[in-house]
Every structure is written in structure tokens, then in C-alpha cells.
Amino acid sequence: MKRTILYLMLLSGFVFHHARAQTVGKEQFEFGNFGPGSGGKLSQEKGVMHLNSQKTQHCFYDADSYSFAWQKQPFPYDDCSKSTVTVKINKFKIGTAGIMMRSGIGVGAANVHLEVGATGDVLLFWRKTDSEMTSYTRVAGSLPFPMELKLVRQGTVFTSYYKTEKGEWAKGASAIAEVGPEQLIGFYGCSGSSSQVGYGEEINPNMDVTFSDWTFHYEENFIAPEKDFKDKMPVKPGTLLRDNFDDGSLSNAPASIINPVWAGIKYGNLPIDKDGGRYWRKVGDGTFYLGNKKWADYQVGIDVSFDTASKATTEFQMQVRYQNIATYGTPRYYSVALREGNKLFFEKNEAGVISFSKSVNVPRYFDGAKHNLAVKMLDRSYEVYYDGKKVIEGVDTDHPVTYGSICLKFIDVSMNLDNLEVIKIEDPINGVADNYLQDYYDAPIPEYLKKYETVTPPAKK
């Protein structure tokens, strides 16, 4: 691997937005060629970046072969940090090119890259962790050149965009990857192979691509947590978990019933409300987990409010009895979802598909007002409440999901959350044992099976 350092005059400008926003007129770029036998070079003239890549097959599988021009960008605050890269890519004859965000220069480093091929097909690739196999999904097909792409990172979520013929940004797919707090961001090219499939194909010797009109933006909205915080809110009987966010943190240890440590996120934007407490301000996408995988009969409630200018694509999901068991291959869970501004759904998700769905219309909730969303799960039965009113109920008799943790999922949101509570529901017949056995919901468990009953230890207060 050869690596050089170049100083490029950025006529279009790199703009970094953060607590001390500034415009930088000159930025130091590093350039390297990675992979066996790779080569290439980088130059810049009149606001156009010229990248040449030689014998670099692709960024795929568990190791990459590519030419890369990058900068180091600190990304210290997880979901409170946001990085945006846009670029115009001019037509090229062979290979692939695009935007890359990467944890390091190693060929197996975790990364996300938004790629276009010479045919105009746009794909999003991601390697979730170092040395893992790469995954991909199609974003758009056969777009005309010159093409404008955008890749946005917020926390561990990376979202793709492309510009339509009308000059508007269209949102594509999203991916999750552990790129870390010191990312490398920039532009890359691969010369490709005769078919772009498999290691055995003959690698193309050479490709050339030009990038122009690029911008880099960084912003953060981190607010420091409370010091020496003591939660004085009374704890309700049967509480399995509660988070009122008043400590200003999603990850401070040690974990307890009233101080949960979230998975999938470290820093969240937790502003101070007018009464001196805190709430969670969430913008964009994300999927975050909480709780005990052996929770069985319980109810979950949360206060939510959506901005009046929320997008039509906005969706919030509260997933319950979430299971991610290797035997099933994909997660299984129930979800309560708010979509389209005035619809509420209760759905069962398994094997990557929705196996049943019920929905009701509710008053439009893109109104800035606080609403309460709650669901009760007891054995095979479910009840969904909106602002204290029961709106959906039923019994799942087809292989129900009978225990699991919780998860919050966000898609295109601009919303506030507060007062998350998980409270145990007492089952007078068999407790939670029937949930684990997945039988005897309405009759006492026979004596010969009682030795298999599982007792979940209580969480520490």
C-alpha cells in the first residue's frame, strides 16, 4: 500500500458545523491504494478531483481493494454527532466510485460506502464490524450522469441519498455499522473486474473518475449529563424499568431499574425542559434496545410528541417481546407503530416479514402535543392504548412470541420522548412459567413439568 498526503484547495469549500462552526479554505487530504498489487494517483485542478485507481477489484467480502482520498474527522458524541458528505460524480467508463466513511485504513475495517457503477446503478454497502463480511442493498438504478450523492452518519446509522432529475434529494437505504469515534471520510474508486462477481474474475487494470462540488458538514448537539443526580420520582410497584431521562444520560453506569443503560446508543440529545427535567429529543433514524430478554408479561408506556412539520415518511415503533435468537435467524417481536401522521398499527414481525397487522385511525399527532402510547402483553393476549384509551386488542394463537426485551425504532422522525415505563403484569395462574413453556396459559402446569420453571432474578435497584 502506498500513501501520500496532498493539500487540495477546495473551491467549493469544506464547511464544518459544530459548537464552534467555521469554514475552512484548505484541508489536508491523505491518499492511498489498498489491496494486493493496487496502484493509483490523485490530483486536483479548478475544483475538480481526479482519481485514478489501478487493479483494485472492489470493496466487498471481508477485505477491500480500493483507492481512497480521505480526511480524519472526530465523531465524539455518537447519536449527538452528525456527519454529512455530498459530491457530484461525473461519468466514467469502468469500475465503481463513491463516498466512504471508514473506521481505519485496514482492508477489513468497518465501513459504509455509497457507490455508483459506470452504468449509473447506486448501491449502499456496509461492513458492520472489522473483518466481517460486507452487506449491500440497492438504492437506485440507471441514474444519469453527472450524479449527486449524499451519505449521512448519525451515531451508528448511515443513510444514503441521491439527487433526482428535479434537483431534489431522495432518501435511499440506511445501514448500521460500528465505525467508531475517529472516522475517515472521503471519496474512493475501484477499477472492478470483468463481471464484478467473485474473486476469480480478471481485474480491470485501470479506471479514472472525477469528483466535484463536494461538501463536508459536521454538527453536534451533545448536552452534558447532570452531576450527582438523584432520582426522587417514586417507583411504582412492579416496575421492571423506568427512564425519565432526568439524569441527562442514556449510558451512565451502574444499570438499575431507574437507571437503564441502552444498547445501540451511548449519547442522546437530552435537553432541559421548562420544569428543569430532561427529555429525549430524537431526529432522524435509529434502533435502540433495552431490558431483559426473559421479560414475559408486562406493559410498556411512553410519552411522545412529534413536530408539526414532521415528514410523511415519519415512523416510530415501540417493539415488545423482542427476541433475536440464532435459531430463528432474524428477530421476532410485536410492534406498536405510529405512521402517516394519523394511524396506529399493532404488528407481529418474524422471519423478516410482518405476519399479521391491525391498524386504527387516531387523531393527527403531528401537532406538537404530548401523547401517551402503551401496550400490555399477558400470555398470548395484547392490548394497545393511545392517550389512555384502548384502541386495539386480541389474542395471538399462532405461535405467539411470549417473552423478550423492548426496542425503540425511529425512521425520519423529529420528536420528543419522555417517561418510559415497563411494569410487570401478574399472571395468577402460572406466573411467567407458561410463557417460557409456551403452553398451559389457562390451566395449572402439571407437577412433572414444574421442575422446568424458570425464575428470572430481579434487577438491581
Look at residues 124, 127, 106, 134 and name the one whose alpha carbon lies nearest to residue 178: 127
Q: Is 457 exposed, middle or buried (0-12, 13-18, 19+ CB in 10 A)?
A: exposed
Q: Which residues contact 149 (CB under 8 A, 6 or more apart)?
A: 86, 87, 89, 98, 99, 114, 116, 122, 160, 161, 162, 163
**DSSP class of residue 278?**
B
Position 461 scores a pLDDT of: 46
Reply yes or no on whether the pLDDT at 25 is more than 80.
Answer: no
Whether the CB-CB separation of 321 and 331 falls below 8 Å is answered with: no
Reply yes or no on whether the pLDDT at 345 is more than 60.
Answer: yes
Position 343 scores a pLDDT of: 98
Say which range, 141-145, 202-206, 209-213, 316-320, has the weakest mean pLDDT. 202-206
Position 73 scores a pLDDT of: 96
Look at residues 220, 218, 223 and name the one whose alpha carbon lies nearest to residue 80: 220
**Interval 283-311 mean pLDDT:** 98
Position 195 scores a pLDDT of: 65
Whether the CB-CB separation of 177 and 184 falls below 8 Å is answered with: no
Q: What distances in angstroms separate CA 73 from CA 83, 153, 214, 285, 372, one per listed residue? A: 9, 12, 16, 21, 39
| Stronger pLDDT, 461 or 44, i.e. the higher one | 44
* C-alpha torsion 277→310→300→369, nearest 10: 50
Say which range, 1-5, 171-175, 375-379, has the weakest mean pLDDT. 1-5
Q: What's the predicted TM-score (pTM) here?
A: 0.89
Domains (ranges, CATH) in the chain? 2-220 (2.60.120.200), 239-452 (2.60.120.560)
E strand map for 207-311: 207-220, 239-243, 280-290, 298-306
Reply yes or no on whether the pLDDT at 196 is more than 60.
Answer: no
Q: pLDDT tens digits, residue range 89-102?
A: 999 999 999 999 99
- Cα gap 101→86, rounded to integer Å: 12
Number of Cβ within 10 Å of residue 430's Cβ equals 21
Residue with cell 410487570: 424
| Stronger pLDDT, 222 or 18, i.e. the higher one | 222
Number of Cβ within 10 Å of residue 385's Cβ equals 19
What integer best gives the mean pLDDT of the chain?
A: 91
**Interval 355-380 mean pLDDT:** 98
Q: Is 218 exposed, middle or buried (0-12, 13-18, 19+ CB in 10 A)?
A: buried
Query: For residue 47, which phi and psi values (nearest 5 degrees)?
Result: 80, 10
**Interval 367-396 mean pLDDT:** 99
| Stronger pLDDT, 82 or 193, i.e. the higher one | 82
Position 22 scores a pLDDT of: 27
- What confidence tier does 202 reach under pLDDT thresholds 50, 70, 90? confident
Q: pLDDT tens digits, residue range 119-165?
A: 999 999 999 999 999 999 999 999 999 999 999 999 999 999 999 99
Look at residues 263, 230, 234, 269 and name the one whose alpha carbon lies nearest to residue 249: 269
Q: pLDDT tens digits, residue range 248-281?
A: 999 999 999 999 999 999 999 999 999 999 999 9
- What confidence tier does 6 reach under pLDDT thresholds 50, 70, 90? very low
Position 453 scores a pLDDT of: 59
Q: pLDDT tens digits, residue range 37-94?
A: 999 999 998 889 999 999 999 999 999 999 999 999 999 999 999 999 999 999 999 9
The β-bridge relationship of strands 405-424 and 239-243 is antiparallel
DSSP helix/strand/coil, 118: coil
Sign of the Cα pseudo-torsion (65, 184, 127, 337, in order): negative
Q: Cite the DSSP H helix spans in 125-253.
A: none
Position 153 scores a pLDDT of: 98
The set of cell numbers assigned to 108 is: 477489513
Reply yes or no on whether the pLDDT at 199 is more than 50.
Answer: no
The set of cell numbers assigned to 326 is: 440464532
**Interval 432-445 mean pLDDT:** 92
**DSSP class of residue 450?**
G
Reply yes or no on whether the pLDDT at 293 is more than 50.
Answer: yes
**Interval 313-340 mean pLDDT:** 91
Position 135 scores a pLDDT of: 96
